[in-house]
Structure 1
């Protein structure tokens, strides 16, 4: 099933007296249970299309259709609600809150996403997700005591705890060594399949591409 449709999306801005065209009419469909990888040189526009699809910035033209709804016509508050409840995010850095334990990180996400759960239900759900990512034994640990790979696993758990329909991953393995990168990508692949998530990933690491279902190469604001 198609979750996302990116239709003729453009992005430009004015730099002094020069118009800079970052995206030049991107068409893209994203499907449930699939990882779509965007690759290309720095400046090709791959991260820009991810942030526009995620509602983190506006397109200059074109449409973003999510489950039949045109996100380009939505107000900021409606976009915020969709990002909080329907989307999950994983970035190069884990961005964990330093003074919260692993368990508290995930409970905070449940509250932000407005998931209607009682405290006892929250703890059960957190335990379940932490078991899925192999971090249930570290639920009382703080980020400073975790390895880079462990922090990224917690970040992934936080991104899926509220059962999002779409996962946006922007260079999720860039700060990890080769072994931990593969471990993280195996986890993202397994969760994408088991939870039927639509995953859009930006990466420059060719070793991560075998984990993707589709690979889309961008150059100079266009899909090759």
Structure 2
């Protein structure tokens, strides 16, 4: 089932007196429970497309339809609420809060998402997802004592703790070695399927494409090829 579409999305920036068009009318559809990977050379527009899809910046033209509503037409506060409650984010680096334990990182995310769970249910949910990412034994640890792979596992758990409908992942394995990259992508894929999340991921690592359901190849601000991936 499709819950997210982009229709003829364009993005332009003004550089001095010159207007530069970064996205040139992108249309795509994302489906529930599937991973769509965006690939392309540096400057192809894939990261810009991801940030616009996630409501982190506005499109110059076009529609971004999430659950029937054009989020590109909403004000910043309305978009912020959608991001907090309905979207999850994983970036190249974990960006964990240094003075919070692993458990507290996830509790904070539930606060940001304005979760309606009472305290005891929040504790259970944190324990559940930490077990899924195999970090329950480190729940009282601080980020400074975690390895790179462990930090990224916590980042994935934090992104999924409030059960978002869409996960945006921007180069989630770029800072990891091959083994840890596969571990993190296996987590993302499993959680995408189990929680029926719609995942949009930017990656430059062709090995990570085997975990995707669809691959969108971008070049110079346009989609030049879209294909099914070799699913892991």
Return the TM-score normalized by structure 2.
Answer: 0.96
Matched, 1:76 2:93: no
Q: Distance in 2 between matches of 1:2 and 1:120?
A: 34
* CA shift digits 1:156-212 (9 cap, x unpaired): 000000000000000000000000000100110111011100000000001101000
* CA shift digits 1:105-158 (9 cap, x unpaired): 000000010001222221111000100111001000000101100000000000
Matched, 1:202 2:205: no
> Highest relative contact order (Cα 8 Å, sep 6+), 1 or 2?
1
Please name the residue that 1:169 is paired with.
169
Which structure 1 residue ranges, 5 or more long, are not aligned?
A: none
Trace 1:67-216 onto structure 2 (pairs within 5 A): 67-216=67-216
Q: Distance in 1 between matches of 2:123 and 2:21?
A: 47
Q: Distance in 2 between matches of 1:101 and 1:19?
A: 45
Q: Distance in 1 between matches of 2:17 and 2:69?
A: 36
Which structure 2 residue ranges, 5 or more long, are not aligned?
A: 225-232
The aligned length equals 224
Q: Distance in 1 between matches of 2:12 and 2:73?
A: 18
Return the TM-score normalized by structure 1.
Answer: 0.99
Question: 1:88: Cα distance to partner?
Answer: 0.1
Question: 1:3: Cα distance to partner?
Answer: 1.1
Please name the residue that 1:26 is paired with.
26
Q: Distance in 2 between matches of 1:193 and 1:122?
A: 22
Q: Distance in 2 between matches of 1:187 and 1:208?
A: 12
